Chains A and B, each alone.
Chain A
Amino acid sequence: MTRAPLEWNRPAPGRPVLAERRPNEGPKRTERPAPAFHDMMSRLATLERAPVFFSVQEATLRALARRLRRVKVAAGEMILYQGEPGDTIFFIERGRCRVVIERPPGAVTVALLADGDFFGEAACLLSRRQQASVYAQTDCYLLALDRQSLHGAMTSREPEALDELQKLADQKQRTFADITVQATWGLLLHEATVVGVYSPKGGSGGTCISLNLVGALSRRYPGEVLLLDLDFPYSHSALLAGLVPTSCLARMSSLPQESFEEVLLSAVLYHAGGPMILPGALRPEEADEVTPELVTRAIAVLRKSFRYIVVDLGVTITDSTLALFDLTQHVVVVTAPEMSAVKSAADALDILVQLGAPHDRLTVVLNNRSIKPAVTKSAVERSLKRPVDVEVGFDATRPEQAAVEGVILSLTNPKSEVARGAEALASLLDVKHSREGAEAVPAVPPGAGGAEER
């Protein structure tokens, strides 16, 4: 008798078909209780809120949602304990959890997690011991996904997504470790220089310049340079750097003062090449949460922990942008050699001067986005009534390619035009804002950058 091959990897309907059942023979199959419709919708909504599942197909999401286990934890109860093995990722459906790294004699709160966040992924995916303890701060309704269920649902359907999840777990683990070191020992004593990168016209390459500037600065000061992405409504710097953001500044708006610092620092993403990135908002509607007060509070905290804070201010001038202009020590205006961009840059420079920005703290970057610029450099300088400080040469498709690959050119390809421009800008900033007695770490030789190590 020939038997048709059985489909092990069939994605739907969720339950695997393993063997043909003959009547009155064979083991009885214990059915998994199927969740009710509303329950299923709620599970799916929670999974969809987790940034790591943004790109996962719906069939896989449904399979994962079916395998989730509901867990209720009372306020104050321990959920995970540092140092123990673990095999489950927990998604917070409702409630708040505190992530604590216990380092005798004290303990450091490295994150405050809320609805839609998840934890326990490092132990589950990387088979490492729990890096931190997690306590329920309020009554928590969690959805638990154990290792077997995760592999059962994803290995056959989307192994790449599983790899992404592992990368994210590794990234988060390193961030926590870094924050603990900073919070425990208070190594960084000086306050940061805040540099605002403003691009009055969209498409001038403001985000590209700010990202590569951060890369160039972090080659000198690894781990001491932060990019605060306030380019609303779509803050994509983290994604352009190949990082998956899980939290953002906007979500800190309702935090109490005592936990603000820890939670803010825990939202910072760590890039293997040295720079750190804090997204302003993950969703367009969250941009409204970023108020001038929140920005001021955040900068006050971040200044203690970094050497340079580069703020991508985007295109529009809002109350938050104006508040930030007051806090910056240096403003970089990025423009492209196009009529409209140059006109906008001239207006922006006028406004900045009216706001009291000294001329020596203003830098103009001319970013050549095309091989034949419509306006010459001298014409741009005439329109702006000031010289162009840094000119970025045409770099063909490298910036777009880097964005697709999620790499920072100033770390991976120091010979590219964008990287050279960023390096020149970093040198200029370093000359103007270098600290007395502070010795810069020599830049990493080309090709030895950390971004490739990821």
Chain B
Amino acid sequence: MRTASPASLVRDAHTSVRRSSLRRQLQGIVDGKTDASGLDLDDARLDAAAVIENMTRKRSMQSSTVQRLVVAFKSSGVADDVVERLAARSPQQRVQSARIVGALRIYEAVPWVAGLLESRDRSVSDAAARALGRIGGASSARALVKAINRKGLNRRLVAELARAAPDLFVETALGEPQPQSVRPALAIAAGLRRRRAAIGPLIGLLQTGSRRERVISCRALGWIRATTAAPLLADALLDRDWKIRMSAAKALGALRARSARDDLKYLRIDRNARVRKAAEYALGRLG
């Protein structure tokens, strides 16, 4: 077993002390006791972004904590420095800055953070996607859709799109002409958002989309608990494509659609093992 050297222990302790100091300083800003003029967010070892993220986690952009931090950062020029470091050469600095911008939901910085989605460094583009997801709004969602179009279906981007998209953004985009890679991503995002307004566009996709789009829309309808789509999903159980049959079975299980019990029983003798397994799972959910 490797033991840490005394020097590294001292260094770690020193970093912990500085991190505590930063936390107290930020708390002072939130309490209105101090301003952000003396803040030092440069030190990579300090991981200031993590401290700020911890303070603003599960708080909306309207919360007083976030608002006070943002005002203090903007008025003291710290926010300018953070945004400037989005252009730093070091990927760590860009990641740190993107995380801080995301944690503070600095909406004005969206165009600059969106540029980082093009970075070849995975950690930078992921941090930018997370930041856009946290900031939210139509601009962030548009940037994420562009990135999906460029990079293809990417889990991180789709998850953050679901988080960032405002009401009716994904639903409208589903009804518009889209590049091949974007529409499935939008369908997944619609499912992840679990908004009932997406049921109509997803049903449309289930009826007229490509094979991949139909598979995804089945699952998305299940996630949304779209009981009105149960008859269409039951029809999809008879599709020639095994993936569509499988995802329709899973969706009906999620919907607990008892009306589809007989169709699902029939699927237990399907020629595809994965469809059979999905049917068993769905019947288990129906009880």
Contact = CB atoms under 8 A, between A and B. Distances in A.
A148 B112 contact: no
A78 B79 CA distance: 40
Contacts of B60: 127
Contacts, number: 123
Contact of B167 (A20, A32, A80): A80
A79 B115 contact: no
B18 interface: no
B111 A148 contact: no
A36 interface: no
A30 B172 contact: no
Interface residues of B, number: 41
B87 A84 contact: no
Interface residues of A, number: 44
Interface string A55-91: 0000000000001010111000111110010111010
Given A87-B166, A147-B61, A18 B108 contact: yes
A27 B116 CA distance: 6
Interface in A1-37: 3, 5-6, 8-9, 16, 18-22, 25-32
B61 A148 contact: yes
B74 A8 contact: yes
Given A27-B115, A29-B111, A30-B114, A79 B83 contact: no
A206 interface: no
B143 interface: yes
Interface in B258-278: none
A55 to B, nearest CB: 22
B156 interface: no
B71 to A, nearest CB: 9
A28 B200 contact: no
A444 B214 CA distance: 62
B93 to A, nearest CB: 12
Contacts of A148: 61, 105, 107, 135-140, 166
A233 interface: no
A194 B139 CA distance: 53
Contacts of B114: 29-30
A78 B199 CA distance: 9
Given A26-B86, A120-B167, A16 B112 contact: no
Given A71-B172, A81-B197, A148-B61, A25 B87 contact: yes
B196 A6 contact: no
B200 A19 contact: no
B112 A18 contact: yes
Contacts of A86: 167
A87 B196 contact: no
B61 A151 contact: yes
B199 A18 contact: no
B112 A27 contact: yes
A20 to B, nearest CB: 8
A78 B197 contact: yes
A147 B137 contact: yes
B139 A32 contact: yes
A90 B115 CA distance: 29
B68 interface: no
A450 to B, nearest CB: 26
B87 A26 contact: yes
Interface in A373-390: none
Nearest to A17: B108
Interface string B158-177: 00000000111100100000
A71 B196 CA distance: 17
B108 A144 contact: no
B84 interface: yes
A144 B167 contact: yes
A393 interface: no
B197 A19 contact: no
B280 interface: no
Nearest to B75: A8
B208 interface: no
Contacts of A8: 74, 79-80, 108
A35 to B, nearest CB: 13
A87 B116 contact: no
A152 interface: yes
A117 interface: no
A329 interface: no
Contacts of B107: 148-149, 151-152
A236 B197 CA distance: 38
B173 to A, nearest CB: 10
Interface centre among B113, B138, B200 (most CB of A within 10 A): B138
A30 B109 CA distance: 11
A18 B166 contact: no
A120 B195 CA distance: 14
27 contacts: A16-B108, A19-B80, A19-B84, A21-B87, A27-B113, A27-B116, A29-B114, A69-B169, A71-B172, A77-B200, A80-B197, A84-B195, A84-B196, A88-B167, A90-B168, A127-B60, A127-B62, A144-B138, A146-B169, A147-B166, A148-B140, A149-B138, A151-B61, A151-B62, A152-B107, A152-B108, A152-B137
Interface of B: 60-62, 74, 77, 79-80, 83-84, 86-87, 94, 105, 107-109, 111-116, 118, 135-140, 143, 146, 166-169, 172, 195-197, 199-200
Given A8-B108, A9-B74, A152-B107, 8 more contacts: A6-B80, A25-B87, A27-B86, A72-B172, A79-B168, A144-B169, A146-B138, A146-B167
Please provide the 5 A-B residue pairs with the shortest distance between their CB atoms, ordered closest to farther: A26-B87, A148-B137, A27-B115, A146-B166, A88-B167
